[in-house]
Amino acid sequence: MTVERPLVLGHRGYRARYPENTLLAFREALRAGADGIECDLQKTKDGRFVVIHDPRTGRTADSDRGVAESSLEELRGLDFGRGERIPTLQELLSALPADAWLDLELKEETLTPADCAEISAILDSTISREKLMVSSFDARLLFPMKARGFPVGYLVGEEVAGSWVAFAATLLRLRPRYVNLPIDMTRVLGVRRARRAVQALRVLGFRLLFWTVNTPAEAGFAAPLGDFLVTDEVDLIVQASGKRAPQK
């Protein structure tokens, strides 16, 4: 089973060229022709939801702080590159055009299932569910979102190659709309076995997202099989996936 041209999502924005998970990176991903963006959600000490991948700021900001040990005001004082500040979930949603897709990854380091009610309320007050995916490696964060009617994507790590039974059991319990696969599965399983696994998931009715697709060769494998390609290299993968890039 094949799909039409997959949608391209900027991984943490346009990560290859701009500071990741910033409003600048999100704007530039869309300007480069991405259909939407993928980003990460953590929670601060004072209960605010902020867009950052790591549970600490040291890799991406000018000072190292624990997100869960810091207030929003304290995190706002950090420079995340080019003068960019950490966005809240509300700021991200307000900045996204209505026609842009959003893959919002819930991070298990600082979030719990109890946070899902508030996250749901924020999403529903700002964005349509039509172009929204809520994803996580932790199925415990996805069950309450699915119960509230959100389309969910179960993120799969490379380690699944050695634990297919547990993976299949989670899929049967959760029945996500999307299965989010690492492009590195082609290296772990080999291209033929990876293609067979992907085709089996499609036959079972799952829509597929591939992360992180950063080369034309990776796009060549993923584009005929996937509904979404998540990439650091937006310009390159927009072209490789068959989408016409915007005029600059």
Q: What is the pLDDT of residues 113-128, one digit of tens each?
A: 999 999 999 999 999 9
Helix, coil or strand: residue 144: helix
**Among the options 7, 10, 11, 116, which is catalytic?**
11
Residues 54, 34: Cα–Cα separation, whole Å: 23
Residue 2: band (very low, low, confident or very high) from pLDDT cuts 50, 70, 90: very low
Share of the chain above pLDDT 70, in %: 94
Instruction: Count helices and strands (H / E) in the chain.
Output: 10, 9
pTM of full prediction above 0.85:
yes
Do the strands 49-51 and 36-43 form a parallel or antiparallel pair, or are they unpaired?
antiparallel
Helix, coil or strand: residue 34: coil
- Given a contact cutoff of 8 angstroms between Cβ atoms, the answer to whether 7 and 103 are in contact is no
Residue 217: band (very low, low, confident or very high) from pLDDT cuts 50, 70, 90: very high
Say whether 87 is catalytic: no
Residues 57, 60: Cα–Cα separation, whole Å: 6
- Given a contact cutoff of 8 angstroms between Cβ atoms, the answer to whether 88 and 23 are in contact is no
**DSSP code of residue 61:** S
Residues whose CB is less than 8 angstroms from the CB of residue 81 and which lie 6 or more positions away in sequence, other chains included: 18, 19, 22, 60, 61
What are 153's strand-pairing partners?
Answer: 135, 178
Q: What is the pLDDT of residues 24-52, one digit of tens each?
A: 999 999 999 999 999 999 999 999 999 99
Using CA atoms, how far residue 230 sits from 2, 39, 55, 112, in Å, is: 18, 10, 21, 25
Place of tokens 């199925």: 139
Residue type, 224: P
Q: What is the pLDDT of residues 51-96, one digit of tens each?
A: 999 999 999 999 999 999 999 999 999 999 999 999 999 999 999 9
Say whether 180 is catalytic: no
Residues 128, 114: Cα–Cα separation, whole Å: 22
**The pLDDT of residue 1:** 41
Give the residue from 156, 161, 131, 136 showing the smallest Cα distance to 146: 136
Do the strands 49-51 and 207-211 form a parallel or antiparallel pair, or are they unpaired?
unpaired
**Among the options 15, 53, 107, 243, which is catalytic?**
53
Q: What is the pLDDT of residues 142-192, one digit of tens each?
A: 999 999 999 999 999 866 655 778 888 999 999 999 999 999 999 988 999
What are 136's strand-pairing partners?
Answer: 154
Of 3.80.30.10, 3.20.20.190, 3.30.930.10, 2.60.120.370, the CATH number of 7-240 is: 3.20.20.190
Give the residue from 3, 6, 2 showing the smallest Cα distance to 237: 6
Six token digits for residue 129: 């569910």
Nearest 5°: phi and psi at 162? -105, 5
- Given a contact cutoff of 8 angstroms between Cβ atoms, the answer to whether 226 and 3 are in contact is yes
Residues 200, 193: Cα–Cα separation, whole Å: 11
